[in-house]
A and B are shown apart, each in its own frame.
Chain A
Amino acid sequence: MVAKRLKPLLVAAFSLGILIFSNISLAQGDHGHGAASGHKEEEKLNPSEIILDHVADGHEFHFGKITIPLPIILYSPERGFTAFMSSAFHHGTEAHNGYRLVTREYIEEHKLNEGQEKPLFEANKIYAVDASGKPDASISVLDLSMTRNVVQMLISVILLIVIMTRIAKKYESGVGVKTAPTGFQSAVEPIITFVRDEVAKPNLGHSYGKYMPLLLTIFFFILINNLIGLIPGAANVTGNIAFTAVLALVAFIVIMFSSNKHYWAHIFWPPVPLGVKFIMIPVEIMGIFTKPFALMIRLFANMISGHIIILSFICLIFIFGAMNTYLGYGTSPFFLALTVFIYLLECLVAFIQAYIFANLTAIFIGQAFEGGHEHEDVPGHEDPVVI
């Protein structure tokens, strides 16, 4: 009983602790940046840069002052494959092996994008350098590095595989089949049955079994990355459009492979009056692509916005602090409270977005193979609610 009562308190204390820790690390990171660039100009707080740096992908992990270098793998048609650790770049201050990590400071310092109609160089990207040591955007470089998003995603993959195969072994040994499920099994089982009974069965009908592995994988992959992404200092994997694009692509391919002639008949010969048909056909064709596109944007925007809001609240403390130290201290409890609130909200959103993605995927797949006859008697075919 005591342990049960203590648990929420401990969780709250821990959450607050890591929030404060992230706060400190942010402050220190800020100082670090300032030290790197602050030689020639006076230190200035740039919240949008800080926030975008935190939510974007990167070639190293930052935990306060500790930096964990990650492997860089590059391919260039001219130079072939190259691999080394990101520490060789020394945070973008040095070129290595003919490549350079072009930072924002470097672009500003060397005025790389000046006089160009379109910015030639993007910050925090790796470019090949020519013989004189200057970055050359004309040499194409394919960056296959194990960035922090990749590393974290691979960790989540390994975690999922370990957790799920262990649970599967437990089931195979009879626990949870003849007896009640035990341990972590009982935490995962309701989610699996939820996905089966609330997501797959209502939308996919009798053939739900075929899609269960896909839906479960999508759900848990998004969920675990959402949750890991909430740990301060961790990468924001689900808030990166590459991640959501891959999932949307998979969903699109599965939808296409599940489609039957009713689906295509509905698109190319919609059950509307002839005149409207010519308006509806392009709309329906667009609809094929907007569905996965909406999946991609929804997850990406939801996850990145949560992180941005949390970081913005923390940055506000420093903005006020820059105006007046006491103002900064005075407003910090308020902003911390808001941060905790959004943080808890994000914990909820982590589950909701995983559910929405899996559910909408199931709905779209279901629409692709359901018979056309249900639609003919329903005037104005209704699309599912898209949040």
Chain B
Amino acid sequence: MLNPSIGLILWNLIAFLVLLFILGKFAWKPILKSLKTRENNIAESLASAEKVRAEMAQLKSENEALLAKAREERAQMLKEARDTKEKIINEAKEQAKLEANKIISDAQAAIQQQKMAALTDVKNQVGNLVIEVAEKVLRRELGNKAQQENYIKELADEIKLN
């Protein structure tokens, strides 16, 4: 049992060497190569997936920044619009006030003018009346004194009536 036969050793040696050669050339080499390729592929795929993920994250953050900027711009625009609106309204009010003042002042001027005209007219009429009265008085003076005074009284009453 412990003394191996030479024949068996020889056969074993030949078989092992043949096996080593054939498997080494036709089995282990392609298998190990394929396994290596696959592992490299997997590693590469993982790396590229990681890269894509990072890119996606970057893209997302960029998008968010863009969105935030857009939002800010919108707010800005709204604010500007509101400001413009208020400005226009204020300007319009100012304008209206000015117009109104002008109209009022014009109206006052016109009233004043008319009043002056009326006054002038009144003065003229008063003058005329005075002249008339004076004329009449002067005409009646030649008659009766008492009548003259009555007449003046009458005239004076007439003026009162006016």
Task: State the A residues within 8 Å of B (CB).
Answer: 52, 55-57, 73, 142-147, 149-150, 153-154, 157, 160-161, 164-165, 167-169, 171-172, 176-178, 189, 192-193, 196, 209, 212-214, 216-217, 220-221, 240-243, 245-247, 249-250, 304
Contact = CB atoms under 8 A, between A and B. Distances in A.
12 contacts: A150-B8, A150-B12, A161-B23, A164-B27, A165-B27, A167-B27, A171-B34, A171-B35, A196-B35, A214-B20, A242-B4, A246-B9
A177 B4 contact: no
A177 B6 contact: no
Pick from B7, B16, B20, B24 the residue with the most CB of A within 10 Å.
B7
B7 A143 contact: yes
Contact of A221 (B5, B19, B33): B19
Nearest to B2: A241
A5 B151 CA distance: 153
B94 to A, nearest CB: 80
Contacts of A212: 28, 32
Contacts of B37: 177
Contact of A157 (B5, B15, B30, B32): B15
B10 interface: yes
B5 A168 contact: no
B11 A157 contact: no
B28 to A, nearest CB: 4
A166 to B, nearest CB: 9
B21 to A, nearest CB: 9
B1 A164 contact: no
B7 A246 contact: no
Nearest to A241: B4
A240 B28 contact: no
Given A147-B7, A250-B16, 12 more contacts: A52-B1, A55-B1, A57-B8, A144-B11, A154-B11, A157-B18, A161-B22, A165-B27, A169-B30, A196-B32, A213-B28, A217-B23
Interface residues of B, number: 34
A242 B12 CA distance: 7
Task: Please give me the 9 A-B residue pairs with the lowest Cβ-Cβ distance, nearest first.
Answer: A242-B4, A164-B27, A171-B34, A213-B24, A242-B8, A246-B12, A144-B7, A168-B30, A150-B11
B6 to A, nearest CB: 6
A217 B10 CA distance: 18
A147 B8 contact: yes
B19 A161 contact: yes
Interface string B35-56: 1011001000000000000000
Nearest to A125: B5
Nearest to B9: A242
Contacts of A177: 34, 37-38, 41
B119 interface: no
A245 B19 CA distance: 16
Contacts of A241: 1-4
B29 interface: yes
Given A142-B6, A192-B35, A172 B11 contact: no
Given A52-B1, A245-B4, A192 B32 contact: yes
Interface in B68-95: none
A168 B12 contact: no
B19 to A, nearest CB: 5
B31 interface: yes
A144 to B, nearest CB: 4
Contacts of B38: 176-178
Contacts of A217: 16, 19-20, 23-24, 28
B31 A160 contact: no
B98 interface: no
Contact of B31 (A73, A171, A250, A304): A171
B13 interface: yes
A297 to B, nearest CB: 10
B23 A172 contact: no
Nearest to B27: A164
Contact of A178 (B5, B11, B23, B41): B41
Contacts of A56: 1
Contacts of B23: 160-161, 164-165, 213, 216-217, 220
B31 A167 contact: yes
Contacts of B27: 161, 164-165, 167-168
Nearest to A55: B1
Contact of A168 (B1, B16, B19, B31): B31
